[in-house]
A and B are shown apart, each in its own frame.
Chain A
Amino acid sequence: MSSMTLSPRRVWRWASHSSLLGRLLFPVVCLLIWLVSIKAVTTIWPFAVDVLPTPWQVVEFMWDEITCHTLAPHNMYVTFGISLQRLAIGMAIAMVIGIVIGLAMGLSKAVDAFFNDWVVAILAMPNLAWALFCSLAFGFGDTGPIITVVLTGVPFVIMNVREGVRNTPTDLFDMARAFGVPRRRVIRQVLIPSLLPFLFAAARYAFALGWKGLVVAEVFGGQDGAGWTIKFWYDAHRAYGVIGYALLFVIFALVFEKFMFDQLSKRLFKWRPSLDAVEVVEEQFDAPTKASVGAAAGASTATGAALGSITMVTSGRPQSVDDELKPPED
């Protein structure tokens, strides 16, 4: 007990320098704020009991969902399965269209000028607009949400692919030409490998943003799926249902990001001799951001800014999680 290692000052030093402790403390503090605000609200307005759900209600709801005892028409697994299916179809279409247009835009200045403004315009459009429009134009069902996913995902794929084409090592092409390497081999062995990280990043962005778009689209124009179900609880005025489902969303996105994409990128880019793949993608995508940050949006074009914004949004996530996870707390 009274050994030197546990003197209060040392404990305090350790505590104030440990990121793990802070990390563990965060949910506790959130819970405390939650409980205090319930207490405050119910003392001010005694009838507002059902507006702010208690944590226990939410946990109970989530447990019921996980064990398939739900009041909603489909249980959680089916619901997320339906949404994932739509997301997959939409993303596949978006990737195909995006790769074709992106390649053309990267290779030809004319095509680039032709499409550029419209890609930026579609990128800046809120997914709410697509969702509402598709739900009215295509009715309830699969079509509206899928088209929303395509429309939200396509600009990201296009921009990443174009950037990838522009960033291909031109000296390798020159060398290939000098040695008379046939075109097909150049495409297969130079262009595609150098495009892969960009394609991968494109898929990642398209997934993250397509998911957000899909959820909104399902709220307005779905008959089932994750977005529809959260709206179901909202319409039933079950606040604990909405919050519980929201937490399921967060868990779902994190699991996908961390497990699927990180694993995939590790596997896909194993052949790379340099750093591991995530870093490569991040670094390549950080370059334009850093440049644009450094030049204070010297990238005066709308595209640069838009591309930067994508980078910023995602670069914060894997980096900050990754590099802080590694060092064991001292």
Chain B
Amino acid sequence: MTTTLDKPPATAQRTSEEDIVRAAKRKDRATRWGWRLAGYVFFLGIWELASGRVMDERLLPGPSTVFETFARLWSTGDVPGAFGTTLARIAVGFTIAFFVGIGIGVLMQNRFLNGFFRDAVTIGVTTPGLIWALITAIIFGNRYAGPILAIVLTTFALISVNVSEGIKSLPKDLIDMAKSFDVGVIRRNRHIVLPHLAPFIFTGVRFGFSIAWKVTVLTEVFAASKGIGFEMRTATQLFRLDEFLTWILAFYVLALFLDKVVLETIERRFFAWRGELKS
């Protein structure tokens, strides 16, 4: 195997090394974006081509159909109401789960309570959301409490796990130092404990949210009279796949927006002070 060495850059050009690096980076970025676009074109193209050719158009509506359907649904005025209902459920359920999760995470530092809650957390993390959805549906029926309880049960464990991990890795030496320099409890918590825990809590919130919205929709499929899940169920029962796909994709885009844009922006603002970690 012969190895070919790259020729050293011609010295006559006298381009500084920074320029070369920058040009290489630019080129790299350009090719990455090119491939990325190619990926979008490829997959959307396959989807569009497959509908009507590989599979019946009623079974697999293409992306253009989905857009048309969304415009139609939007004009009927059902969309904001359904989104609002579901989002309100997520907000209430997730707030409860947040506080329950943090509470349990803090309590788990005690050995006895750790043993007590350990199985609860394990069950909360491993049990499929479907099970909670069915159980709450059969117990609460169409009542408001069903989806909320399902959200709490599926997401609290994630937050607990994160919080308790965070507490375990608290910087003991910093706290000891603060103690020996007579820093008060409030200031100690405010300046050492909270800043240390915040990233862990944030991670828990983001992962919890990504599960919470799915569980909410799932619960609504079984027991709700409005909301995204209800609309999805209606659409599937009427065999309107275009409407079904539109509902789920629209809500999916909204959830991704909330997660990737809103939560991330809050996070960035929140952690703006720790500049050195941003790299």
Contacts and interface: CB of A to CB of B under 8 A. Distances in A.
Interface of A: 15-27, 29, 51-52, 109-111, 113-118, 124-129, 132-133, 135-137, 180, 208, 211-212, 215-216, 219-220, 227, 230-231, 234, 237, 239, 242-243, 246, 249-250, 253-254, 257, 289, 292-298, 300, 302, 305, 308-309, 312-313, 315-317, 320-321, 324, 329
Nearest to A110: B35
B115 A23 contact: yes
B125 A316 contact: yes
Nearest to A216: B130
B124 to A, nearest CB: 9
Contacts of A208: 126
A220 B161 CA distance: 32
Interface stretch (B7-15, B17-25, B170-178, B213-221): B213-221
A35 B194 CA distance: 39
B206 A136 contact: no
Nearest to A132: B236
Given A16-B112, A242-B135, A250-B127, A317 B122 contact: yes
Given A22-B113, A129-B252, A137-B60, A297 B126 contact: no
Nearest to A314: B125
Contacts of B256: 124
Q: Which among A22, A118, A234, A257 has the highest number of chain B CB atoms within 10 Å?
A: A22
Contacts of B271: 296
A293 B267 CA distance: 11
Nearest to B110: A16
Nearest to B39: A114
Main secondary structure of the interface of A (DSSP, over half): helix
Contact of B126 (A137, A253, A292): A253
Nearest to B3: A177
A320 B239 contact: no
Nearest to B239: A136
Contact of B116 (A23, A114, A136, A294): A23
B232 interface: yes
A305 B206 contact: yes
Contact of A294 (B31, B39, B43, B277): B277
Interface residues of B, number: 83
B158 A114 contact: no
For the complex of A and B, 9 pairs with smallest distance between CB atoms: A22-B115, A19-B115, A22-B116, A316-B161, A113-B35, A126-B214, A23-B115, A296-B271, A114-B39
B277 A237 contact: no
A18 B115 contact: yes
B112 A21 contact: yes
Interface in B22-71: 28, 31-36, 38-40, 42-43, 55, 59-60
A116 B210 contact: no
A127 to B, nearest CB: 8
A19 B114 contact: yes
Contact of B138 (A26, A239, A308, A321): A239
B130 A302 contact: no
Main secondary structure of the interface of B (DSSP, over half): helix
A118 B36 CA distance: 10
B138 A237 contact: yes
A324 B127 CA distance: 21
A312 B116 contact: no
A321 B161 CA distance: 12
B157 interface: yes
B118 interface: yes
A117 B44 CA distance: 12
Contacts of A126: 213-214, 217-218, 248, 252
Contacts of A313: 125, 158, 207
18 contacts: A19-B112, A19-B114, A52-B139, A124-B255, A125-B252, A128-B214, A128-B218, A136-B59, A230-B130, A230-B134, A250-B123, A250-B126, A254-B122, A292-B203, A298-B278, A312-B162, A313-B207, A320-B121
Nearest to A214: B128
Nearest to A330: B111
Interface in B202-241: 202-204, 206-207, 210, 213-214, 217-218, 221-222, 232, 236, 239, 241
Contact of A118 (B33, B43, B218, B268): B43
A184 B254 CA distance: 47
Contacts of B255: 124
Nearest to A246: B131
A283 to B, nearest CB: 14
Nearest to A292: B203
Contact of B252 (A124, A220, A227, A250): A124
B119 interface: yes
Contacts of B36: 113-114, 116-117
A114 B38 contact: yes
A20 B111 CA distance: 9
A97 to B, nearest CB: 15
Contacts of B39: 113-118
B128 A216 contact: yes
B1 interface: yes
A133 B114 contact: no
Contacts of B116: 22-23, 25-26, 29
Nearest to A240: B138
A216 B33 CA distance: 36
Contact of B158 (A27, A110, A316): A316
B144 interface: no
B135 to A, nearest CB: 6
Contacts of B214: 126-128
Nearest to A27: B119
